[in-house]
Amino acid sequence: METEDITLGGNIRLAGFRDFGKSDMFVVRKLVGSYARKISDDFGDYQELVVTAKSVHGSEKHTGRVEVHVRLTLTSGELFVSEEVDMNLFSSLDGAFKSLLAQVTSRLRKD
């Protein structure tokens, strides 16, 4: 199954979101854009931000859970990855971005 990527701006890419409705995508774009702005404001420009979503299926039936992966590549080449699984798409996104921000803050604080 091929996924269709959605590009937001020049360096933000969403993958695996084609099965979500228009209202969900409106919120996803706003949430991702807000976190992208925060990353840019707090840590400077970045090379790429990729957000991937997929439904998590149980062995017998669909559980309704959504797995979100966020991958951030800074202009320095450093790579940060986080993931979150939740019953709610927006909670998964929020959790994955919070985890990513904590990683980047911790790493850059050590420098």
User: Which domains are seen in the chain, by residue range?
Assistant: 7-110 (3.30.160.100)
Q: Is the pLDDT of residue 1 over 80?
A: no
The answer to whether the CB of 40 falls within 8 A of the CB of 46 is: yes
Residue 18 main-chain phi, psi, to 5 deg:
-70, -20
User: Comparing 12 with 55, which gets the higher pLDDT?
Assistant: 12
pLDDT of residue 58: 54
* Average pLDDT value over all residues in the chain: 89
| CA-CA-CA-CA torsion sign (88, 91, 97, 100) | negative
User: Comparing 20 with 38, which gets the higher pLDDT?
Assistant: 38
Cα gap 110→10, rounded to integer Å = 29
pLDDT of residue 4: 79
Q: Is the pLDDT of residue 52 over 90?
A: yes
Q: Is the pLDDT of residue 70 over 60?
A: yes
pLDDT of residue 62: 42
| CA-CA-CA-CA torsion sign (106, 15, 57, 27) | positive
pLDDT of residue 63: 54
When pLDDT is cut at 50, 70 and 90, the band that residue 3 belongs to is low
